[in-house]
Amino acid sequence: MQRKEFGLGDIVEMKKPHPCGTNRWKVIRMGADIRIKCMGCDHSVLLPRSRFESRMKKVLIPAGQEETEA
């Protein structure tokens, strides 16, 4: 299985959308567990790294690029 590359501050897309309707999440903590924050309703979720990696679809916006686009 290929390892997915992601970093702190990245905006990622998950396989399933959040109940609020959005599918964009910001990585706000990295370690053995990954904390992500919903970009729609600001709800945060703490997932074990293995579960996060299996549920993440792709990186939408790498960290640092959101400031240059604004």
| Rounded mean pLDDT, 52-70 | 80
Digit-coded pLDDT (tens) for 25-35: 999 999 999 99
Task: Answer with the residue of higher pLDDT: 5 or 32.
Answer: 32
pLDDT tier at 24 (50, 70, 90 boundaries)? very high
Task: Answer with the residue of higher pLDDT: 15 or 68.
Answer: 15
> DSSP secondary structure string, the chain?
-PPPP--TT-EEEESS--TTS--EEEEEE-SSEEEEEETTT--EEEEEHHHHHHHEEEEEE-TTHHHHH-
Confidence (pTM)? 0.82
pLDDT tier at 1 (50, 70, 90 boundaries)? very low
Rg of the chain taking only CA atoms, in angstroms: 11
